[in-house]
């Protein structure tokens, strides 16, 4: 009668990254109808000192694979931040989705009290697993998915919140 950590994290990451992948596909289609190079969208920023679309997608991916691995007690796969095309970002999403598929549900569901240690800008953050989910992994993951959506919307890609929610 409570929330499964696996459902709340891994299945959320799957659904939302699947939605983000479709948003990127929609961006490519939109650019085609308007006759511009879709990868131009990747340098869009909401403010000069905020990350561009490429980085927002990379970080959303890293939060999903990092949280999945940490909660399962596994090493985090490293993905180079070298994408310069939407196609490459979509491939990164696919790699993360494949990794999420390998994570054992029972290990993740048992992680509520596992200590999670993060190093963030040279500062060490320690959380119990449940707090890590609620105070770090979910808000950060949703933040970067939201920024990616906003950057596509701001540049004209026809999307609605239903695409963001990816309810299917």
Task: Select the residue interacting with its own copies from 13, 16, 24, 72 (CB under 8 A).
Answer: 16
Q: Which residues contact 166 (CB under 8 A, 6 or more apart)?
A: 15, 16, 18, 19, 22
Burial of 26 (C-beta count, 10 Å sphere; 0-12/13-18/19+) = middle
Q: Which is nearer to its own copies, 44 or 77 (CB)?
A: 44
Question: Pick from 100, 102, 75, 79: which is nearest to 91 by CA?
Answer: 79
Q: Which residues contact 75 (CB under 8 A, 6 or more apart)?
A: 69
Position 7 contacts its own copies (CB under 8 A): yes
- Number of other CB atoms surrounding residue 4 within 10 Å: 12
Position 165 contacts its own copies (CB under 8 A): yes
Question: Pick from 166, 152, 133: which is nearest to 64 by CA?
Answer: 133
Which positions from 114 through 153 interact with its own copies, judged by CB under 8 A? 130, 133-136, 138-140, 142-143, 146-147, 149-150, 153
CB of 136 to its own copies, least distance (A): 7
Position 52 contacts its own copies (CB under 8 A): no
CB of 37 to its own copies, least distance (A): 21
Q: Which is nearer to its own copies, 90 or 105 (CB)?
A: 105
Helix (H) or strand (E) holding 119: strand 115-120
Q: Which is nearer to its own copies, 80 or 167 (CB)?
A: 167
Position 46 contacts its own copies (CB under 8 A): yes
Q: Tokens 């989705």 — which residue?
A: 97
List contacts with its own copies (CB under 8 A). Answer: 1-5, 7-8, 11-12, 15-16, 46-47, 50, 109-110, 112-113, 130, 133-136, 138-140, 142-143, 146-147, 149-150, 153-154, 156, 161, 164-165, 167
């Amino acid at each position: 009668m409570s929330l499964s950590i696996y459902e709340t994290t891994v299945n959320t990451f799957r659904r939302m990254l699947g939605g983000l992948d479709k948003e990127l596909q929609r961006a490519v289609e939109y650019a085609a109808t308007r006759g511009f190079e879709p990868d131009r969208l990747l340098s869009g920023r909401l403010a000069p000192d905020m990350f561009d679309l490429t980085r927002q997608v990379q970080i959303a991916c890293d939060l999903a694979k990092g949280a999945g691995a940490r909660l399962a007690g596994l090493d985090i796969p490293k993905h180079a931040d070298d994408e310069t095309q939407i196609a490459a970002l979509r491939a990164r999403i696919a790699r993360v989705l494949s990794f999420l598929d390998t994570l054992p549900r029972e290990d993740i569901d048992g992680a509520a009290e596992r200590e999670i240690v993060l190093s963030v800008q040279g500062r060490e953050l320690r959380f119990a697993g449940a707090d890590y989910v609620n105070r770090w992994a979910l808000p950060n993951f949703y933040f970067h998915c939201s920024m990616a959506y906003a950057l596509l919307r701001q540049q004209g890609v026809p999307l609605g919140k239903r695409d963001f929610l990816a309810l299917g």
